Amino acid sequence: MKHNPPLTENTSTRLDKWLWAARFYKTRAIAKQMIDGGKVFYNGQRTKSGKVVSLGDKVVLRQSYEEREIIVIALADKRRDADFAQTLYQETPNSIATREKNALARKQGTLLSPASDTKPDKKQRRQLIQFKERI
Instruction: List the chain domain ranges.
Output: 13-134
Res 117: pLDDT: 81
Question: Rounded to 5, what percent of the chain is helix, strand, coil?
Answer: 40, 20, 40
pLDDT band at 8 (very low <50, low <70, confident <90, very high): very low
Sort residue 83 into left (φ over 0), alpha (ψ -120 to 50) or beta: alpha
Burial 111-120 (b: 16+ CB within 10 A, else e): eeeeeeeeee
pTM, rounded to two decimals: 0.74
Tell me the pLDDT tens digit for each residue of 57-112.
999 999 888 899 999 999 998 999 999 999 999 999 999 999 999 888 888 877 67
- The answer to whether 62 and 76 have CB atoms below 8 angstroms apart is no
* Contacting residues for 135 by C-beta, under 8 A, at least 6 apart: none
Question: When comparing pLDDT for 38 and 117, which is higher?
Answer: 38
* Contacting residues for 31 by C-beta, under 8 A, at least 6 apart: 15, 16, 17, 19, 20, 24, 25, 40, 49
Decide yes or no: CATH 3.10.290.10 for domain 13-134: yes
* Contacting residues for 133 by C-beta, under 8 A, at least 6 apart: none
